[in-house]
Amino acid sequence: MKRRGIFSLSLSFVIILFAGCIPSVSLTGGTVDPTAKTVFVGTFVNNSSLVNPSLSQDFTNTLKSKIQSQTPLEIVNSGGDYRFEGEITNYTINPTAIQGNETAAMNRLTITVRVSFENRFDESLNFQQTFSRYADYLSMISLSSVESSLVEEINEALTEDIFNKAFVNW
């Protein structure tokens, strides 16, 4: 009985000793430096040749929402312990799934963003990377009737990729 008590006490001591050395971990598996309090997310300007007028604001807001819901960080208008900046570089619609009569059965909407991420606490985690995602839709359907839902789907996937790269280190 004494051995069990000593073992439990020793294990508790080791856990307490190392707890200060382990970075903060969110419920989603992402890590945030325990001293980090703020994040800046700049507006991702749409510099693609095909412009969706609401894409810039929609993408930026989706990224902010992802960070707010998955971390304890506060969004700030300048500075920040973490910084996300970038631009939308590509917004294209291309035919896919060409049929025997040389018509496309599907079209593909692709969005590409270039992201610059800065981590004030660990510069080795900084990155500049391009992320791209797409969604397909039936060519017999007009883009205008499905565009907002496709953009929302793609934005969610892009922000998941960016979040994972910045906070989960994938």
Q: Residue 32: what pLDDT?
A: 84
For the segment 156-165, the average pLDDT, to the nearest whole number, is 97
- Whether residue 97 contacts residue 119, with contact meaning beta carbons closer than 8 Å, is answered with no
Delimit the domains of the chain by residue range. Answer: 2-168
Taking only the tens place, the pLDDT of each residue in 20-38 is 433 433 444 467 888 999 9
pLDDT category at 16 given cuts 50, 70, 90 is very low
In the predicted model, what is the mean pLDDT of residues 93-108?
A: 78
Distance CA 35, CA 1 (A): 41
CB-CB contact of 107 with 143 (8 Å): yes
Residue-level pLDDT at 11? 44
Cα 141 to Cα 104, 120, 146, 153: the distances in Å are 12, 46, 8, 17
Instruction: Give the pair of three-digit tokens for residue 42.
Output: 């700049």
DSSP 47: -
CA torsion through residues 125, 126, 130, 136, sign: positive
Retrieve residue 15's tokens.
């856990």
Closest CA to 26 of 17, 16, 39, 14: 39
pTM of the complete model beyond 0.95: no
CATH class of 2-168: alpha beta
Neighbours of 50 (CB within 10 A): 11
Poorest-confidence range of 11-20, 83-92, 104-113, 137-146?
A: 11-20
Q: Report the share of the chain in percent with pLDDT over 90.
A: 68
